[in-house]
Amino acid sequence: MAYMMAPLEEHYDDGFGAVGEAFHRAADVIAKDSDGKPIFLEGLPEIFLLRHAIELFLKSGIIIMHRRLRLPYGPQPSDSPKPFLLTASGNWKTLYQTHDLAELYWYWKKILTDHADALTKCMKFSTDIGVPPELDVWIDTLGAVDPNSDYFRYPVSKNRAADKEKSSFKEVAMPDLLPQKLSEEKVHALVTKDGDGNWVRAFKHDRSTNKEIGEAAHNAAKVLFNFHAMMRFEFTGGW
């Protein structure tokens, strides 16, 4: 497609989708490098990259559909250099003022659903543009823990109550440090001692940390990547 080798300012969607693809590919590199089993903190940037790709794919889709169908952004024209977002409360605000996935997804899905017939008429092929219901769940899961795009980016976020859960090393009681039964499970842990050599505290790696969120991010990003590819092919002439 032409947009892949064109300057961002020449893109139909102002470059949002192409940058989303770049973040998506970068997340794949981290996933392959860690073999899908991160031990330290590499899982945080991986999910952040996926989450940001999702945000950019949603913003790209909103822009593309508005411009292709010539839908005004409230009082602003469809070709406005500053794209807008309609909120569930009925207010318009610029796409540059939000990182909220739930907010973006609600409007992206609303356009896709409300204007399904008009969008279908723009297509060369009979492409199914129905939104899979599981995407709702994945967006809700990811958006709930990181509504401001800072949870996986910083050690301290606006979601302070959940911050302590992001690290995969958790303090455990000494009896819980090692498996109670014979197991092939490898234990990665930090154990501290007092001046007499007695074990005092233990911090054990928890394999389940961010697992559900990471799976939601991977699945949602894949679906939205496919929607983005469809829109570039069907609605923008490859641009």
Q: Are residues 81 and 183 in the same domain?
A: no
Q: How many residues in the chain?
A: 239
Q: Are residues 128 and 188 in the same domain?
A: no
Number of domains in the chain: 2
Q: Are residues 177 and 93 in the same domain?
A: no
Q: Are residues 57 and 139 in the same domain?
A: yes
Q: Are residues 111 and 187 in the same domain?
A: no
The domain of 61 spans 2-163+208-234
Sequence-distant (≥ 6) Cβ neighbours of residue 193 within 8 angstroms: 199, 200
Rounded to two decimals, what is the model's pTM?
0.91
Summarised one tens digit per residue, pLDDT across range 206-239 is 888 899 999 999 999 999 999 999 999 999 999 9
What are the percentages of helix, strand and coil residues in the chain, rounded to 5? 50, 10, 40
Summarised one tens digit per residue, pLDDT across range 85-112 is 999 999 999 999 899 999 999 999 999 9
Q: Are residues 42 and 135 in the same domain?
A: yes
Q: Are residues 222 and 158 in the same domain?
A: yes
Q: How far apart are CA 237 and CA 232, in angstroms?
A: 7
In a domain, 239, yes or no: no
Reduced to 3 states (helix: H, G, I; strand: E, B; else coil), residue 123 is: coil
**Average pLDDT for residues 64-78, to the nearest whole number?**
96
In a domain, 66, yes or no: yes
In a domain, 222, yes or no: yes
